[in-house]
Structure 1
């Protein structure tokens, strides 16, 4: 499996013209000393995301004013002071699962924002190769290792299950980043990760001490706003997210069970609780940039 994954990665990077040496936190100054206090770094990241929300997002966290954020002092400090600390930070030092979940979710959302600004994206992150390039090109150096958006989502947060459209796990068996994965994965992360597109879940700021409640709220809020039921056709209309990651949710039966638990106590949930069968209809994903 190791040779296959190495060859797969080399071929994809060549096709997409991705430079494995390129990261968004390379900087030009002296590399900071190793950061031993993972809790403090996670708190600094959380504070940066809170400032981003206050300065450049709508109240729901759906839209981002990227041009306004570009020259904002909070964003400039994030770029110059916080992200360089990641270069020699060991994520394995994060003390518990809750802290790791909050850290990686916040970092994913922050990296998306940083990459949209750095790459000058104005219409969609999916303009090239249906988004494959953006999610592999957007990366930070973390603990001396390159870590892209795909690495964070499919390698770390999804316990190395791999990209839904690319065969094999995200990381090879010899990859040192395997020490960072969160296993078992929590499927609710799919309602916390925002990929700068209109169909994405809202951007939240996640805290270790509240992570379970926040993920549950993210799931319930997304489902309440997104899911529609056509009882005459016995159809459930829902986000393409459920299709892409159906295995994470336990297949069709798992998705329906999740909806029975997560939907608010309205006519949709009442119908679903008594329905003997239902067909899942996945909506097209709106990849337009979530521009405020």
Structure 2
């Protein structure tokens, strides 16, 4: 009889813990999908707010898992915060620095998510060449091991010139990132065959170290067949900071 109750207790405990496990990657996708579908997202926001550092580090182990999760979270809270208070965008410097995303026992700013976690502790204004040292524990635990330059064509900061918002998954991240990169650069790039000059988005200049310098950026345009050859010169268009929300794009399967 004692063995029966012991087995029953262990089975009940295991079942409770299984039900209590949260798939945070899926939560980030559901959050963004609900925003796209104009449905309530309060449940997902609450789950993220109640998460702990241990919760996230136990699930988000690979760079693909971390990147898909944090890009979805970043893009979601941009839409949420600017829909609630679009006037905040008038002072963009203060807007991106303000702690507002409650997650993993912290309240993070958009700058912290982008530059500290997704860009592995890079100084925001340094073209990506300078790195921050002696970072807090949560940042060291949650940040990526290697910077994926394609994040710059996936993050949407609310401006008209930003890439569209799409939902990303860790399983298909490479394919999804390649699609968004190609589509965005096609829209943002022109090429003069006579002078072999490409004119593309300013993101290539602002984060040039992430792309392997300007030479690397020119190679990307050729590799992704945005230009018919590697340009000899790269120029940058003006970035339109006009507030533009709801620019969603579905990635084909």
Place the TM-score, normalised by the shorter chain, in its bin. Answer: 0.7 to 0.9
SS of 1:214's equivalent? helix
User: Is contact 2:154-2:164 (8 Å) kept?
Assistant: yes
Higher relative contact order (CA 8 A, sep 6+): 1
**TM-score (normalised: structure 2):** 0.80
Distance 1:174 1:199, change over 3 A: closer
Deviation at 1:169, TM superposition (A): 3.6
Deviation at 1:87, TM superposition (A): 5.7
Deviation at 1:45, TM superposition (A): 1.8
- Count of aligned pairs: 225
**TM-score (normalised: structure 1):** 0.70
SS of 2:208's equivalent? coil
CA distance in 2, matches of 1:37, 1:287: 40
Instruction: Return the index of the structure with the highest Cα Rg.
Output: 2
Match of 1:117 in 2: 83
Cα deviation, 1:173-220, whole Å, max 9, x if unaligned, reads 141111211011110111110001100001010011111111111111
Deviation at 1:88, TM superposition (A): 6.1
Q: Which runs of 4+ in 1 moved over 6 A?
A: none
1:246 to 198, 204, 208: 208
Instruction: Note the 1:165-184 alignment, pairs <5 A.
Output: 169-170=131-132, 172-176=133-137, 177-184=139-146
CA distance in 1, matches of 2:130, 2:212: 19
Match of 1:192 in 2: 154
Distance 1:174 1:99, change over 3 A: closer
Match of 2:17 in 1: none
Cα deviation, 1:38-93, whole Å, max 9, x if unaligned, reads 6x1220220121122233xxxxxxxxxxxxxxxxx4234444x3342236664322
Deviation at 1:224, TM superposition (A): 1.4
How much is the aligned-residue C-alpha RMSD, in angstroms?
A: 2.5
Distance 1:247 1:168, change over 3 A: closer
SS of 2:65's equivalent? helix
User: Is contact 1:113-1:196 (8 Å) kept?
Assistant: yes
User: Is contact 2:50-2:105 (8 Å) kept?
Assistant: no
CA distance in 1, matches of 2:126, 2:86: 23
